[in-house]
Structure 1
Amino acid sequence: MLRLIERLLPRPVHRIALRVAYRLRHRWRSVVKAPLEGVSVFVTDLEGKLLLVRHSYGPEGWLLPGGGARRGEDAIEAARREIAEETGCKLENPRLLASVEETISGAPHTAHLVAARTLDRPKPDGREVIEARFFPTHSLPEPQTPLTRARIAAWRGKLGGSAG
């Protein structure tokens, strides 16, 4: 039902609704402290370039694609769904790299870091994601959020830095 409502709203109205919902969710999580799970996905193309996205809401700058995991959904399923929804890309051989316990909006959060390749060109949905592009790993765009920067550093270092 929610997806139907999203598709019926014009994109500019939907983007405004996402900004409001993002702020409300941040406040709700800081009060309720409900634990959530999500995925950040390191998607590379055949040249080894890394996919980054810019959202229509939330922090300014370039981010790793991903999002919340649904109840009962494993990290690989969540990664496939989020990447398809946000960019239209299909993941090839996704694998779980690590799970990180952190605090977001004052509440516990488990971030599953997933790596995969895609043969597809990203097509942003124009609602949640307004831009999606591959970048050479030696020349990533700015600004990046501190969380994105930390995850990319971990991916390059101890996590291996490849999505093969």
Structure 2
Amino acid sequence: MLHLIPAPLHRQLYRLADGVRKRWWIISRPRRTSVVVLAFDDHGQVLLVRHSYGVRVWTAPGGGMGEQEDPALAAAREFREELSCELSGLTLLEARELEISGSRDTVHLFAARLNGTPRPDMREIVAAGLFDPEHLPADCSRLVPSQVALAVAALETGALKS
């Protein structure tokens, strides 16, 4: 049903909702679970995205999990919803507790291979780019370099599923 909202209005609503959500998290300090996916193409480049809301930096795609949702299924679902692209070899690298905008979040970090061409939904995700892991953009999230390093190490040791 949300696809019926024109994309420019949808982006404005995301920005408004994100501001309200972050203020609420500071007050309520919720516990959340989420997924992050570092997807690599056949040349070893990593996919990063820009959201239509929040701080406009390059970051890894991902999102929140539903209650009782399996982390791997949530990762694949979020990636598909935001980028209309499938993944192969989805591998859990770590699950770590982080504080994000006031919420206490268990983040499940996955690495995978791109299985297709990512196309931003132009609602939540407004840009997607492939980057050399050794030359990440200067304006990326503070978490991205360490996440990419962990994923690259998994690739190099063969820990990433085929």
TM-score (norm 1): 0.90
Is the alpha carbon distance of 1:161 and 1:143 closer, same or farther for their aligned partners in structure 2, counting shifts above 3 Å?
farther
Deviation readout 1:79-134 (Å, 9 max, x if unpaired): 10011011111010211110001111222110000111013111100100011121
Alignment coverage as a number of residue pairs: 158
- Aligned match of 1:61 in 57, 60, 77? 57
Residue in structure 2 matched with residue 148 of structure 1 by the alignment: 144
SS in structure 1 of the partner of residue 39 of structure 2: strand
Q: Distance in 1 between matches of 2:144 and 2:55?
A: 11
* Contact kept? 2:38, 2:111, Cα under 8 Å: yes
Deviation at 1:161, TM superposition (A): 4.8
Residue in structure 1 matched with residue 111 of structure 2 by the alignment: 115
Q: Supply the AA of the counterpart residue of 2:117.
A: R
Identity, % of aligned positions: 38
Q: Supply the AA of the counterpart residue of 1:78.
A: A
* Contact kept? 2:45, 2:130, Cα under 8 Å: yes
Stretches of structure 2 that go unaligned for 5 or more consecutive residues are none
Deviation at 1:77, TM superposition (A): 0.6
Q: Supply the AA of the counterpart residue of 1:38.
A: S
* Contact kept? 1:90, 1:118, Cα under 8 Å: yes
* Contact kept? 1:43, 1:116, Cα under 8 Å: yes
* Contact kept? 1:39, 1:75, Cα under 8 Å: yes
- Aligned match of 2:3 in 4, 7, 12? 7
TM-score (norm 2): 0.91
Please, what is the CA RMSD of the aligned residues? 1.5
Residue in structure 1 matched with residue 86 of structure 2 by the alignment: 90
